[in-house]
């Protein structure tokens, strides 16, 4: 039986928590019209083809998750590293809302991908507005250009925005640590820049900030995110912290790794720890796989285990820094991510993250 894609699309749109205008823009552009027949459902293994598995393809397209539409820049590898995708619909809607997209606006999108986000934007700005989208991958740009026929969207194959043009809003669909000067120059007076930003180039978390043009450019974080890196800012292969190093028992943590991961504070902790990689992973624990929290900075590293014990090495007491940041969050009543702000100086070698609830700020090197 052939999946009823239109019905699936209607059901997906109804699940998006957003304004009626944004929901209507999604409704006008069904997701399945923008997803290629070949997608990558898993981190390893073969791609999935629509012709071979139409039901599973439809299930992936109309899930609430992101879909990997290209891996390894179109090549091959031991893992299917996402290099182009269709973002999760709710994340798209939240970013569009944060940018305040409305009729008549001139909008720049950085990272065209499938073209679905650009189509939604074009519906919102209408005939009086415009959407320009830049895509670094020529093949991805060409396919998106075809899918966007009739929407009025201009797709440009480029690594940076058009020189000399300014926009009422800029939305980036790829994560950066250093915000390119060309992105900032594209902002009109008071224009928003909504983008996934990560304080460390190898961090897994890329929280989304809604900045506003000014001196300096600044604004709050608005939600969690996990976006692919801008291709010009990929960190390369970095060794896993502590791999092959002899561990030393360190002071125990107030809670175990599983409780910390479930606390919803991992991104806040990342923002509070400059130059630290912070992540989660599986490691053997008492003979069984256990979810741990790991940290790394230069030669220093630390692992937090499910029972609250900590092991690590190096000359930086990462466990103490993590414990101090955790306690500050606890004492302040667990501030939301939206209580944190990002301040960007165009010529600065560091960006400032601040939290009013904590009365603190942290300077993150970005060179």
Q: Tell me the pairing of strands 208-212 and 217-223.
A: antiparallel
Percentage of residues in the chain having pLDDT higher than 90: 89
Asked whether the predicted pLDDT for residue 204 surpasses 90, the reply is no
- Among the options 83, 86, 87, 198, which is catalytic? 87
Percentage of residues in the chain having pLDDT higher than 70: 99
pLDDT at residue 285, rounded to an integer: 74
Quick one: which of 202, 177, 175, 183 has its CA closest to 366?
A: 177
Q: Alpha helices of 75-191 — where are they, by DSSP H?
A: 89-99, 116-125, 138-147, 181-185
Backbone angles phi, psi at 61, to 5 degrees: -60, -40
At the top level of CATH, the class of 5-233 is alpha beta
pLDDT at residue 1, rounded to an integer: 62
d(CA 172, CA 118): 11
Q: Which tokens go with 209?
A: 């900030």
Between 286 and 98, residue with greater pLDDT: 98
In the annotation, is 133 catalytic?
no
Domain coordinates in residue numbering, the chain:
5-233, 248-331
Asked whether the predicted pLDDT for residue 287 surpasses 90, the reply is no
From residue 252, alpha-carbon distances to 262, 319, 343 in Å are 18, 8, 34
Asked whether the predicted pLDDT for residue 363 surpasses 70, the reply is yes
């Amino acid at each position: 039986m052939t999946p009823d894609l239109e019905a699936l699309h209607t059901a997906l749109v109804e699940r998006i928590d957003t304004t009626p205008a944004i929901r209507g823009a999604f409704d006008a552009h069904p997701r399945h019209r923008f997803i290629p027949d070949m997608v990558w459902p898993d981190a390893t293994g073969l791609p999935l083809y629509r012709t071979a598995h139409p039901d599973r393809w439809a299930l992936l397209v109309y899930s609430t998750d992101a879909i990997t539409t290209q891996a390894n820049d179109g090549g091959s590898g031991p893992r299917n590293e996402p290099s182009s995708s269709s973002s999760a619909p709710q994340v798209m809607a939240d970013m569009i809302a944060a940018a305040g997209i409305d009729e008549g606006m001139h909008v720049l999108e950085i990272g065209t991908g499938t073209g679905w986000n650009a189509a939604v934007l074009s519906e919102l700005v209408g005939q009086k507005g415009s959407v320009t989208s830049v895509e670094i991958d020529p093949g991805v740009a060409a396919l998106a250009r075809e899918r966007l026929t009739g929407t009025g969207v201009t797709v440009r194959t480029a690594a940076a925005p058009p020189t000399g043009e300014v926009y009422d809003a800029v939305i980036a669909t790829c994560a950066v640590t250093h915000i390119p000067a060309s992105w900032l120059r594209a902002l009109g007076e008071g224009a928003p820049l909504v983008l996934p930003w990560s304080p460390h180039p190898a961090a897994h978390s890329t929280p989304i900030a809604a900045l506003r043009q000014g001196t300096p450019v600044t604004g709050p974080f608005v939600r969690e995110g996990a976006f692919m890196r801008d291709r010009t800012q990929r960190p390369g292969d970095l060794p896993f912290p502590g791999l092959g190093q002899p561990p030393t028992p360190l002071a125990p943590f107030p809670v175990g790794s599983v409780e910390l991961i479930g606390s919803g504070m991992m991104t806040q902790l990342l923002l509070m720890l400059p130059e630290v990689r912070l992540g989660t992973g599986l490691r053997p624990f008492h003979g069984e796989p256990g979810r741990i929290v790991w940290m790394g900075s230069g030669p220093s590293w630390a692992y937090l285990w499910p029972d609250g014990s900590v092991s690590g090495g190096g000359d930086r007491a990462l466990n103490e820094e993590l414990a101090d940041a955790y306690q500050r969050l606890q004492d302040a009543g667990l501030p939301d991510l939206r209580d944190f702000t990002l301040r960007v100086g165009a010529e600065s070698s560091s960006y400032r993250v601040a939290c009013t609830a904590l009365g603190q700020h942290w300077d993150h090197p970005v060179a």
